[in-house]
Structure 1
């Protein structure tokens, strides 16, 4: 089973070049993933809340690739900055979004990471069709390295954000000439209006996704429980099995024949003394042989 967490790269290591100042070291992600019991996972290359491009030392990048190959089984995915908005009608925000996303794609190439994950963003008045057209234009203008795939993540669907409906995901696939994939976030999918609380509900939602989007596009799953119920559009993650999806829904997801072989990355909170290690262990407990 490929399951892991979204881990931090923060923390400095001593550089071999004494003239080089301390920097966040990408290798920290591998060490933390192993410590949590994960064998795949997700990371940011820089702070996701500011316009900051990755600053990855070549030695650290080489070490990251080597340690990943030695210690992990499943694939990494890089999550783009939260500020990136593919759907925006604003030229300045679009330019910043392109620059930030391109930097993460280039970082993925340098690190041997096969996926970069991004939200569609908000159309902010351009309308659904206009927002999807804007996003497709951005995607097709990127220089995506060989061996790296851009994944569009499903959204909770609040306000003018796109990606909450399966039709939005199908719409961006139809519009772009780029070979993109999809990352489904289970908490987002639930609050966007898709029931995942029982085995029957999971079967129905997966079948509908296949009909509207296509399971062949699904590459990664953000496995999160939700603190809010179906259709609330409130994005707040819960511990695995302790939210509205619950143990029955989570068990059905991680054992579903169309989902079980995909990599799962957790973005669960740390609460009541339960962090990533507890959540990963819980997922493994729910997995049936």
Structure 2
């Protein structure tokens, strides 16, 4: 049976190696981190000792693959030169940090085209990504989006559009709450089957390297991005069970970005995933 790789987005407060300890305490074996505060451009520095502790602890405890989530400020689709430059510089620091930490993936939202149009925004994103010098062993993952306003990534065609346009080898990360909010109904077994088939047809499942597993507090197609506990949102238990047991998804690692509320933590949600997985 395929081993379940599931974890959560862990804090690096006090040092990046603490994320490994927290993940193990939560019962996870893979996960996601920020390398710095996602609300600022300043990346700071990760010292060599912390890098070594992170790598050693991950290896010794068979934790991985990790994924780094880029800054929320990054906007690859933007037509604004200054924001584009800052976004590229930030992403370069992320892929370099991933190389140092032995993390194989850096996850990024495409961002908003803010008037450039869908095609223009996808052109901007692809050309921005092509300016990166991505180290060997690191892959940039383009994340699906809830698709509010002019944000791109809400349609699988947007993800495919960037992969097709870009000379860089890119893959994708599917966020279940985002996809649901964008209009892909994951609340039933039939809906999961149809969504996975569409993702395979439009993007190719060979490009799906990570999943952000989140339930949704808002209905399908609302474009509202707010995460719920696994099985307790509008995707619900049936949808989550179908997703977790889909034969084409069983090898894809899962990182939870579920809330900490109502007395339920990452540990509760990770355990819930394990219960729903046959």
- Give the alignment's TM-score, normalised by structure 1: 0.94
Which residue number in structure 1 is paired with residue 141 of structure 2?
A: 151
Which residue number in structure 1 is paired with residue 230 of structure 2?
A: 240
**2:227 matched to 1:224?**
no
**2:159 matched to 1:169?**
yes
**2:32 matched to 1:4?**
no
Q: Distance in 1 between matches of 2:106 and 2:44?
A: 13
Deviation at 1:71, TM superposition (A): 1.2
1:58-117 alpha-carbon deviations (Å, 9 max, x no partner)? 011011101000113430000000000000000000011011111010000000000000
Which residue number in structure 2 is paired with residue 139 of structure 1?
A: 129
Which residue number in structure 2 is paired with residue 14 of structure 1?
A: none
4+ residue stretches of structure 1 with deviation over 2 A? none
Deviation at 1:52, TM superposition (A): 1.6
Q: Distance in 1 between matches of 2:34 and 2:23?
A: 14
1:126-180 alpha-carbon deviations (Å, 9 max, x no partner)? 0000000000111111000000000000000000000000110110011001100
2:70–2:108 Cα contact (<8 Å) kept: yes
Q: Secondary structure at the match of 2:220?
A: coil
1:154–1:183 Cα contact (<8 Å) kept: yes
Q: Secondary structure at the match of 1:34?
A: helix
2:58–2:64 Cα contact (<8 Å) kept: no
Which residue number in structure 2 is paired with residue 31 of structure 1?
A: 21
Q: Distance in 2 between matches of 1:243 and 1:72?
A: 31
Q: Distance in 2 between matches of 1:185 and 1:129?
A: 22
Deviation at 1:122, TM superposition (A): 0.3
Q: Secondary structure at the match of 1:265?
A: strand
1:248-267 alignment, distance < 5 Å: 248-267=238-257
Question: Which of 105, 115, 120 is matched with 1:130 structurally?
Answer: 120
**2:77 matched to 1:87?**
yes
1:6–1:41 Cα contact (<8 Å) kept: yes
**Max Rg structure:** 1
Which residue number in structure 2 is paired with residue 52 of structure 1?
A: 42
- Give the alignment's TM-score, normalised by structure 2: 0.98
Structure 1 unaligned residues grouped into runs of 5+: 12-24
Question: Which of 29, 54, 75 is matched with 2:65 structurally?
Answer: 75
**2:200 matched to 1:210?**
yes
Question: Which of 173, 185, 193 is matched with 2:183 structurally?
Answer: 193
Q: Distance in 2 between matches of 1:213 and 1:141?
A: 23
